[in-house]
Copies of this chain bind each other. A is one copy, B any other.
């Protein structure tokens, strides 16, 4: 076992530390966040910090770092109140990664990265057509974390589009979903099994 103390971490070169600390939370599911501005400019950005917040009401959240390119997404969410989270299959991870380039606000990552923009009536955010699981959410609340001004955005699930239905127990499984660690390292995953409810027996 190697041991890195707080001092060792503080003394790392800045970019190495950023990659290393980001890697500690593991390879998390890649999502494409779809939004549109009040003026009609669409935006699509890759995220891997999506969270389950609660089932009733159905709530999901994601973490937005302060003052990055993702500000386009943030501004759009505050303008329209809507956003979509779209699962990235392994077949799409290179196009999804390209959305992290710094495109001008008026240029859409949908067109630039070959992603299909889909809409549903009464919902002001674009879904990603190639995604097998597309989720439409309405903004509920945001929290700015005092410790470093990171923002937690929470939305309520209003639409789910899926290539397969959930099974009788509510599980929904996509093989070859792409996960991403440290913003640039991609993984694919394979199902092992669903375990029974764990019980304590004396």
Contacts and interface: CB of A to CB of B under 8 A. Distances in A.
Contacts of A27: 29, 177, 179, 189
Contact of A17 (B56, B85, B200): B56
Contacts of A114: none
Interface of A: 1-6, 9, 12, 14-29, 31, 49-60, 63, 65, 85, 87, 90, 93-94, 97-104, 107, 112, 120, 133, 135, 140-141, 143, 145-148, 150, 152, 154, 156-166, 168-173, 177-179, 181-182, 184-200
Given A3-B160, A171-B19, A188-B192, A26 B24 contact: no
Contacts of A53: 63, 145, 147-148, 150
A83 B197 CA distance: 25
Contacts of A103: 200
Contact of A97 (B20, B147, B198): B198
